[in-house]
């Protein structure tokens, strides 16, 4: 696992599509013309108020991607291209979405902010190319076994180990959810196996798909413990920006969450 920036990573997925033992990373977009801009805006409008951001992100990418992981997807019908997008990991999707914004409207993002140090208002002037990205070149880093500090009673066993992978985007797509529901979906997609072997065992874990009801039984304490591993596996951009406070005599670094929602990003 390596931390880069959008500028370094360019048009390469942070994780990529696993094919024949290697990670296929390159992607390209069609040119973002006025016609494209109008077509996307019209379609996003048609989703109506309150449409989930995940649906808008999927649509933008499905509309703009012409090559994904070295495969030409421009001739695929919409439904098949959607499936390609849904199969990508969460981190890869958010990465490609940020790059779509860079390609179409440039890397600068501006929004009103207040300096936490001098408490004066200023216009946050951020550069998307400076966003940090967690990447890997090694396919074996796409799964991880994590020992649990307390057993998790699930599927009729007292689980002591879980097998994790990057959460596929499709799990989170199309549902309007609360943050807690979103977190549950992330875990449902990330946990692909459990067993009751000794912690530290070298034995492989049998893969079992988790249902939402299984995830509901996960102790919150274990969620906190697994959080770092789940985030690392998902890779992709850290959705935050840092700039310097422009006020005289301050100039201190200010970090803010990236306002990546479609309306503030493409509007």
Contact positions vs Zn ion (CB under 5 A): 115, 117-118, 245, 247, 250
User: 43 near 57, Cβ under 8 Å?
Assistant: no
Q: Which of residues 117 and 182 has its CB atom nearest to Zn ion in the complex?
A: 117
- Cα dist. 98→107, 124, 148 in Å? 9, 18, 34
State how far the Cα of 262 lies from the Cα of 63, in Å rounded to an integer: 14
DSSP secondary structure letter of residue 164: E
Least CB distance to Zn ion at residue 259 (A): 20
Q: Which of residues 106 and 253 has its CB atom nearest to Zn ion in the complex?
A: 253
Q: Which of residues 47 and 117 has its CB atom nearest to Zn ion in the complex?
A: 117
Give the 3-state secondary structure of residue 125: strand
Reference 108, options 261, 258, 3, 246; nearest CA is 258
Least CB distance to Zn ion at residue 111 (A): 16
Least CB distance to Zn ion at residue 252 (A): 6
Q: Which of residues 226 and 254 has its CB atom nearest to Zn ion in the complex?
A: 254
Least CB distance to Zn ion at residue 121 (A): 10
Least CB distance to Zn ion at residue 126 (A): 15
Give the 3-state secondary structure of residue 41: helix
Q: Which of residues 43 and 240 has its CB atom nearest to Zn ion in the complex?
A: 240
State how far the Cα of 33 lies from the Cα of 124, in Å rounded to an integer: 27
């Amino acid at each position: 696992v390596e931390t880069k920036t959008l500028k370094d990573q360019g048009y390469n997925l942070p994780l990529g599509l696993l094919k024949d033992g290697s990670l296929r990373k390159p992607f390209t977009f069609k040119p973002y013309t006025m016609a494209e801009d109008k077509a996307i805006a019209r379609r996003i409008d048609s989703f109506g108020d309150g449409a989930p951001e995940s649906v808008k992100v999927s649509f933008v990418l499905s509309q703009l991607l012409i090559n994904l992981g070295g495969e030409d997807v421009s001739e695929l019908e919409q439904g098949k291209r959607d499936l390609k997008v849904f199969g990508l990991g969460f981190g890869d999707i958010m990465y490609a979405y940020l790059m779509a914004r860079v390609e179409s409207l440039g890397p600068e993002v501006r929004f009103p902010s207040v300096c936490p140090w001098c408490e004066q208002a200023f216009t946050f002037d951020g550069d998307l190319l400076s966003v940090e990205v967690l990447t890997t070149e090694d396919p074996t880093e796409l799964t991880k076994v994590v020992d649990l500090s307390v057993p998790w009673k699930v599927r009729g066993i007292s689980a002591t180990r879980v097998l994790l992978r990057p959460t596929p985007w499709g799990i989170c797509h199309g549902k309007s959810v609360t943050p807690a529901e979103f977190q549950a979906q992330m875990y449902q997609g990330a946990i692909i196996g459990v067993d009751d072997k000794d912690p530290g065992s070298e034995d492989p874990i049998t893969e079992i798909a988790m249902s939402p009801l299984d995830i509901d039984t996960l102790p919150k304490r274990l969620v906190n413990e697994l959080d770092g591993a789940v985030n690392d596996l998902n890779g992709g951009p850290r959705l935050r920006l840092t700039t310097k406070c422009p006020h005289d005599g301050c100039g201190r670094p200010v970090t803010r969450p990236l306002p990546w929602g479609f309306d503030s990003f493409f509007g």
